[in-house]
Amino acid sequence: MSIVQPIALASDRVMTALIAGLELEFGRGAGEALASRFMEAEDIDIHWDARNEERWIGAYGSQEGYVELDRIAATGFLDGPWFVALFIVDGDGNAHGMLSCRKCASADAAALAFAQTR
């Protein structure tokens, strides 16, 4: 039996769970190295899924012309530090890129940075 949780509900233990799962699959010692590579490759989606608050900042000029994209500021907690990030998001709520990501030492610092994001 397996339990599936969204990242936002388990954001304080993402790396621990990822490493444990990868060690089960690929053997002891491989989990940590593979987890780092996985986190790098999926950085945008992982941060987007771990958000707990978001705010529309404005439209984002798309090169494709037919896709409407927006700039969305988001804050959340991911495996230790709080973060504030600026994402490029389509009308369906899918993140296409992350323009910036700032780590914050506390929830208060993240709230202040989030309020100042333009």
Region 39-61: what's the mean pLDDT? 91
Q: How many residues does the chain have?
A: 118
1, pLDDT greater than 80: no
5, pLDDT greater than 60: no
What's the whole-number average pLDDT of the chain?
Answer: 84
pLDDT at 13: 67
8, pLDDT greater than 70: no
pLDDT at 40: 82
3-state secondary structure the chain: CCCCCCHHHCCCCHHHHHHHHHHHHHCCCHHHHHHHHHHHHCHHHHHHHCEEEEEEEEEECCCCCCCCEEEEEEEEECCCCEEEEEEEEECCCCEEEEEEEEEECCHHHHHHHHHHCC
